[in-house]
Structure 1
Amino acid sequence: MAGGMFDMAHPAVALSGIAGNFISFLVFLAPLATFIQVYKKKTTGGFSSVPYVVALFSCVLWIFYAHVKTNSTFLLTINSFGCGVEAIYIAAYLIYAPRRARLRTLAYFFLLDVAAFGLVAVITVYGIAPTHREKFLGGVCLAFSMAVFVAPLSIIFKVIKTKSVEYMPVGLSFCLVLSSVAWFCYGFFTHDPFVMYPNVGGFFFSCAQMGLYFRYRNHPSNAVLPTTTDASDGGAAVQQQQQQTQVIELPVHTVAILSVGPVPVVGMHKIEVVATEQQTIVANKSAEVIEIAAAV
C-alpha cells in the first residue's frame, strides 16, 4: 500500500508524508496573524482574496484526486485541513471586506471553486473511464501547479531590477524548500509522478528566492534613510528635503495553495506616510504585489 498513515512497511513513505503534512500545516496557518488583525480592526485592509480562493480550489482538486487514487491518506489529511482553513479565511474576508471586494470574492469563488471544480468533477465521473480517471485528475492537478509556477518569475525579476528584497520573506522560502523536498520524496516513494514532478519546480523557485534574498538583503535600496542635510559647504546646513518619509509595511498575507504540498501565495501591502512641514499626512498605498512561490 502506498501512502497509508504510519505504514511502517514503507517507512520512507510514512516519514516523508508526515514531514510534508507538518510543514504544510504550518504554512496553512501563516495568514492567521493577519486575520487576527482583520478581526480586531474590523477591516481587510484592502488586500486581495484571490490567493485564498485559489488555495481552496487547489485543496478540493487534490482531495478529489486522493479519493480517486485511494490509499492516499497523507494527501487527504493535509488537503482536508487546508480546505477547512481556507474556507474560514474566505468567510472572514467576506465578513470584513468592503462591499465591492466582497462581491468580487463571491464571483471568484463561484467561478473557480464551484463552476470550474464542478466541470472537472462532471468530466471525470461521466466523461472519463474509471481506469483513466487517476491519470486525468493527476494531469489536471499537475497542469494547475505548473501554471502557478510562472508567477514567481515576476517577483524574481522585480528583485533583480530593484535590488530590493522587501517583498521576499526568507523564512517562508526556506519552509517551501523543506516542503518541496518532503513532497518530492513522498511522490518518489509512492511512484506518483503527479506529486513528484511539480516539486522540482517548487524546489527550484524556492531556492532561487532564497539565493536572491541573501544576494540583495544588505543592498542600500533596502534601507530607509532619514532626512539628511548637506554640510559640505563649510558647515552651512542646507536642507536637502522638506519632507520626512516613513515606510510602514503591513503584515505579509500568506496562504498555502496545496498542490499536494503548499504553493504559497504571498502578498504584501506597503504604505508610505509622508509628513510635511505643515504636519499634513498623506497616505499613498502602492500597488499590491502578489508573489506565488510554487512548492508543491
Structure 2
Amino acid sequence: MSCQDSPLCKVFLDQVVPVVGSLTSLLIYIAPWKEVSLIIALRELGGVNVLPYAMMVCNSIAWLMYSFLIRNYFVMVTNLMGYGLGIYYTLQTYRFSTSAQQVSVARLLLVGTVVIFSASGISFVFISDPVSAKLFLGWVAVILLAAFYSSPLSTLYAVLQERSAKSLSWNLAAASLLNSALWTCYGVTLDDSFIWAPNGFGIVVALVQLVLLYLYGGSVLERQRLVSSPRVCETIDEEA
C-alpha cells in the first residue's frame, strides 16, 4: 500500500503539509520586514539588492492566478499576503534606489505583469482543457518561482568582486531554505517534478547565499547598530 492509500497519510499530504507550507512561504514574505524597516529609518539602501522585492510581487501574482485556476485557498491566501508585502517592500525601497535600480525594478514589474496576465488570459479563456490550462499556467508560475529564488544572486558578481555580501539577506536566505526544503520533500513524496524541481533549485540558491553570507558577511549588523544609535533613534521618534 502506497502512502497515498493510507487515510492518515492522505490527511498529512492534503491538509498538514499545505498548512505548514503556507506558513513557511509566509516566512519568506515576512523575512525582509526588518531589513526594509532599517532602510526606511536610515533613508538609504546600504547596498541591499532591491530586485528580490519586485520578483516577490511577480511571483505572488503568478501563484495567485494559478490558485484561482485550481481553486486552492492555501496558495491564494498566502500569496495574497505576499503580494501586499512585496508591493510595500518595493515602494519603500524604490525611493532610496538609484536611477538605474529604479529602471530595473520598473522594467521587471512591467514585463513580469504582462507575461503573467497574458498567460492567465490564455489559460482561463483560450485553453478549454482544464488539465492543459493548469499545466500551462503552472509552468509560468514555476519559472517565476525559480526566478524569485535566484533573484538575490543578481548581485553575485559584485559580491565576489567586493568580497562583501551586503546585498544579500540572512533572513530571506534562511526562510527560502526552509520553505524549499519542505516543498522539495513534499514533491518527492508525490513524485511531482513541478513541486520538487523548482524547490530543489531553491535549496541550492539559498545554500549559495548562506555560504556567501558566512564567508563575506553583510551590512545588516552595521545598520542595526546605526539604528540603535541615539541620532537615528531620535530621527525615528520624530517621524513617528
Q: Which TM class, normalised by the smaller chain length?
A: 0.5 to 0.7
Deviation string, structure 1 residues 203-229 (Cα, Å, up to 9, x no partner): 234345556777xx4xxxx59xxxxxx
| Structure 1 residues 66 and 188, CA gap change in structure 2 (3 angstroms) | farther
- The Cα of 1:61 is off from its aligned counterpart by 0.5
1:1-296 counterparts in 2 under 5 A?
10-44=11-45, 47-70=48-71, 72-94=72-94, 96-97=95-96, 100=99, 104=103, 105-113=105-113, 115-131=114-130, 132-147=132-147, 152=153, 155=156, 172-188=172-188, 192-207=192-207, 210=210, 217=215, 250-251=219-220
Which ranges in structure 2 are unaligned for 5 or more consecutive residues?
A: 1-7, 224-240
Q: Secondary structure of 2:22's match? A: helix
Match of 2:5 in 1: none
Q: Secondary structure of 1:10's match? A: helix
Distance 1:65 1:124 in 2: 9
Which ranges in structure 1 are unaligned for 5 or more consecutive residues?
A: 1-6, 224-248, 253-267, 269-296
| Structure 1 residues 111 and 207, CA gap change in structure 2 (3 angstroms) | closer
Q: In structure 1, what residue type is equivalent to 2:70? A: K
Range with greater deviation from structure 2 (76-85 or 197-206):
197-206
- The Cα of 1:62 is off from its aligned counterpart by 0.9
Distance 2:133 2:34 in 1: 39
Q: In structure 1, what residue type is equivalent to 2:83? A: C
Cα RMSD between the aligned structures?
A: 4.0
- The Cα of 1:186 is off from its aligned counterpart by 3.8
- The Cα of 1:116 is off from its aligned counterpart by 2.3
Contact 2:187 2:196 in 1 (8 A): yes
Contact 1:56 1:86 in 2 (8 A): yes
Deviation string, structure 1 residues 3-42 (Cα, Å, up to 9, x no partner): xxxx995123322223222222222122212322333344
Distance 1:49 1:127 in 2: 35
Q: Secondary structure of 2:116's match? A: helix
Distance 1:170 1:47 in 2: 12
More strand by share: 1
More helix by share: 2
Match of 2:237 in 1: none
Distance 1:97 1:213 in 2: 23
- The Cα of 1:140 is off from its aligned counterpart by 1.5
Contact 1:184 1:197 in 2 (8 A): yes
Contact 2:48 2:168 in 1 (8 A): no
Distance 2:175 2:111 in 1: 31
| Structure 1 residues 111 and 199, CA gap change in structure 2 (3 angstroms) | closer
Deviation string, structure 1 residues 72-102 (Cα, Å, up to 9, x no partner): 23222221111111111123234x3368468
| Structure 1 residues 199 and 164, CA gap change in structure 2 (3 angstroms) | same
Q: Secondary structure of 2:220's match? A: coil
Distance 2:106 2:167 in 1: 27
Q: Secondary structure of 1:129's match? A: coil
Q: Secondary structure of 1:97's match? A: coil
Contact 2:123 2:136 in 1 (8 A): yes
Aligned residues: 212
Q: In structure 2, what residue type is equivalent to 1:119? A: S
TM-score by length of 1: 0.56
| Structure 1 residues 191 and 84, CA gap change in structure 2 (3 angstroms) | farther
Contact 2:177 2:203 in 1 (8 A): yes
Distance 1:135 1:169 in 2: 33
Q: In structure 1, what residue type is equivalent to 2:66? A: Y
| Structure 1 residues 82 and 208, CA gap change in structure 2 (3 angstroms) | same
Match of 2:226 in 1: none
